[in-house]
Amino acid sequence: MTEPSQPYSNLLHRSREIGLIDSASQLLSWDQETYMPPDSLTFRAEQLAHLGGWTHRLFTKPEVGDWINACEDHGFPADSDEVANVREWRRAYDRKTKVPAELVEELQRAQAFAREAWMEARQKSEFPIFQPHLEKLLQLSLRMADCWGYEQSRYDALLESYEPGARTVALKTLFSELRPVIAELGRIAGERSARLPADMLRGQYPIAAQQAFNREVAEALSFDFKAGRIDTTAHPFCSGIGPGDCRLTTRYNEADFTESLYGILHEAGHGMYEQGLRREAHGTPLGSAASLGIHESQSRLWENHVGRSRTFWEHWLPRAAKYFPELTRFSPEEVHASVNRVEPSFIRVEADEVTYDLHIILRFEIETRLIEGTLKVADVPHVWNEEFEKLMGLKVPNDALGCLQDIHWSFGSFGYFPTYMLGNLNASQLFHRATADLPDLQSQLGHGDYSSMLGWLRSKVHQHGQRFEPLQLMRSATGEATQARYHLDYLRVKFGKVRDLAS
């Protein structure tokens, strides 16, 4: 038997060292979006590339491979911390070392050009400007997938970057189960919502008051401001900078306070996950989030299952009215109906909870066809527009409102989009299970008491980090792997119940 303690502690040490440096990169990136003066953009990009290159070299040294081999040969107990960490180091090491440096560099160059081309293409709404870049990125992604290897589908190899253990065939089954039901629900709820004025809550909501109200809500959820903060950016995000330091951002629309509020509810969901990871395990797999699909389940659970519920507004509307006196003219039911208004629209990030899923389904279908070679890049706009009309009943007027809207493809991020759907499915499944496990949950939520909800997520999800792969984590938390039916049930019940105020 080999003596694993030294190789394992070497790996721990290296992993934590990389965690320290990655955390500096996180701060540099956060700062770039929040406070950095514009003139230092080029230098900041150099800095981030340098730190990223450094951690890449630290983790891909042959000694790291030797340490992992030694740990694997030793055979730690199946449920030990060690075995989980070693499994994830192996995964990361293989993915980083299987791709030749030339291919990584070629991809980085292609991404830089593609991003610029995408920006121009979107601005002019001319897909042909972006097309050769997307073709190049697709070709490079296929080469990456072949380096990484896969059993059934090349798309599996790409998915693995974002959602370890997810398989294309399983996702296709899920998505085909979801598609007709959600499309139908979108139509029905959309028709009903059409009788509700779109701008019902429109008013004058001073930014300082929005900030104070959002903070009160985030504190009530238990987002920890001793270990976090909120700033303003063009696009909301959450950055887990390091242990004891998780930062949320949102944006403010003076005419609509719900925009910043739901930004914060979403990002605080991510943030409480980060804050629930074990601080002492920072930099190691056990101190890291399980996957994008699990991360997104946390944000969507707080944003939608908690934040877009009727009980939420029963509790919070009187409190919101202290900051925004004009809200006194609304009932909780009216605000609830307004923030759950369903209307097919072109832009994913502005979509309601029902039609949002249709955007993801569409992009997943197109992505998998591109990777499987059954769709040419040149045909993407045509297919997009055709399928979009089938799903949403809307004619896409131009590519900027269609297949050019999202930035992901300009990074070559094929395989990222399905994690948005997994997030929604996992959120519904976790919330369903929590409701069963905690009989008083609905009443607590109605009183603005979120401690049981958060405690349940802490114990079932947060504290485990990457101890389990995502599907195994869902099994451990809910008794089964990710299913479609809890999300469908949730949507059916909720969007069959929205009060029809105009009738």
Q: In angstroms, give the least distance from the CB of 229 to a copy of itself.
A: 6
Q: In angstroms, give the least distance from the CB of 26 to a copy of itself.
A: 11
* Structure tokens given for 164: 């370890």
Among 21, 99, 394, 501, binds a copy of itself (CB under 8 A): 21
Q: Is 77 in the site for a copy of itself (CB under 8 A)?
A: no
Question: By C-beta, is 242 or 307 nearer to a copy of itself?
Answer: 242
Mapped onto helix, strand or coil, the DSSP state of residue 232 is strand
Q: In angstroms, give the least distance from the CB of 133 to a copy of itself.
A: 28
Q: In angstroms, give the least distance from the CB of 20 to a copy of itself.
A: 5
| Active-site annotation holder among 259, 267, 274, 296 | 267
Beta strand pairing call for 228-232 and 245-250 = parallel
Q: How far, in Å, are 130, 211, 327, 474 from residue 268 at the CA level?
A: 35, 14, 24, 21
Among 5, 128, 191, 225, binds a copy of itself (CB under 8 A): 225
Distance CA 266, CA 90 (A): 32
Which letter does DSSP use for residue 240 in this model? E
Among 64, 241, 281, 361, binds a copy of itself (CB under 8 A): 241
Distance CA 450, CA 76 (A): 38
Q: Is 58 in the site for a copy of itself (CB under 8 A)?
A: no
DSSP 292-327: HHHHHHHHHIIIIIITTSHHHHHHHHHHHHHH-GGG
Distance CA 405, CA 201 (A): 27
Q: Is 20 in the site for a copy of itself (CB under 8 A)?
A: yes
Match 């979107």 to its residue by tokens.
122
Whether 469 is a known active-site residue: answer no
Distance CA 417, CA 360 (A): 6
Q: Is 40 in the site for a copy of itself (CB under 8 A)?
A: yes
Among 72, 94, 116, 245, binds a copy of itself (CB under 8 A): 245
**What does the buried/exposed string (b/e) look like for 387-403 if buried means 16 or more CB atoms within 10 Å of the residue's CB?**
bbeebbeeebeebbbbb
Q: Is 46 in the site for a copy of itself (CB under 8 A)?
A: yes
Q: Is 243 in the site for a copy of itself (CB under 8 A)?
A: yes
Long-range Cβ contacts of 155-162 (<8 Å, 24+ apart): 155/367, 155/368, 155/371, 155/372, 155/414, 155/415, 158/371, 158/414, 158/415, 159/415, 159/418, 160/91, 160/95, 160/415, 161/95, 161/415, 161/416, 162/291, 162/292, 162/293, 162/415, 162/416, 162/419
First CA to last CA distance, the chain: 75
Question: By C-beta, is 45 or 169 nearer to a copy of itself?
Answer: 45
Question: By C-beta, is 21 or 83 nearer to a copy of itself?
Answer: 21
Span interacting with a copy of itself, options 46-54, 92-100, 123-131, 201-209, rule CB under 8 A: 46-54
Span interacting with a copy of itself, options 70-78, 222-230, 400-408, 447-455, rule CB under 8 A: 222-230
Q: Is 242 in the site for a copy of itself (CB under 8 A)?
A: yes
Which residues lie below 8 Å from residue 384, measured CB to CB, with a gap of 6+? 362, 366, 396, 402, 403
Span interacting with a copy of itself, options 38-46, 407-415, 416-424, 451-459, rule CB under 8 A: 38-46
Q: How many CA atoms lie within 13 A of 151 on its CB side?
A: 6
Q: Is 104 in the site for a copy of itself (CB under 8 A)?
A: no
Binding mask 418-437 for a copy of itself (x = CB under 8 A): --------------------
Span interacting with a copy of itself, options 83-91, 185-193, 245-253, 345-353, rule CB under 8 A: 245-253
- Kind plus residue range of the DSSP H or E element containing 21: helix 5-34
Among 33, 116, 177, 231, binds a copy of itself (CB under 8 A): 231
Q: How far, in Å, are 15, 23, 25, 83, 93 from residue 11 at the CA level?
A: 6, 18, 21, 12, 11
Mapped onto helix, strand or coil, the DSSP state of residue 281 is helix
Question: How many residues at the interface with a copy of itself, by CB under 8 A?
Answer: 37
Q: In angstroms, give the least distance from the CB of 292 to a copy of itself.
A: 24
Q: In angstroms, give the least distance from the CB of 270 to a copy of itself.
A: 16
Among 99, 170, 181, 227, binds a copy of itself (CB under 8 A): 227
Among 7, 11, 23, 118, binds a copy of itself (CB under 8 A): 23
Question: By C-beta, is 23 or 210 nearer to a copy of itself?
Answer: 23
In the window 338-377, what residues touch a copy of itself (CB under 8 A)? none
Question: By C-beta, is 36 or 383 nearer to a copy of itself?
Answer: 36
Asked whether 84 and 11 are in contact (CB, 8 A), the reply is no
Distance CA 424, CA 418 (A): 10
Span interacting with a copy of itself, options 183-191, 219-227, 432-440, 494-502, rule CB under 8 A: 219-227
Q: In angstroms, give the least distance from the CB of 51 to a copy of itself.
A: 7
In the window 277-316, what residues touch a copy of itself (CB under 8 A)? 282
Strand order in the sheet with 238-242: 228-232, 245-250, 238-242
Q: In angstroms, give the least distance from the CB of 392 to a copy of itself.
A: 42
Which residues lie below 8 Å from residue 52, measured CB to CB, with a gap of 6+? 25
Positions touching a copy of itself (CB under 8 A) are: 17, 20-21, 23-24, 27-28, 31, 35-44, 46-47, 50-51, 224-229, 231, 241-247, 282
Query: What residues act catalytically?
Result: 267
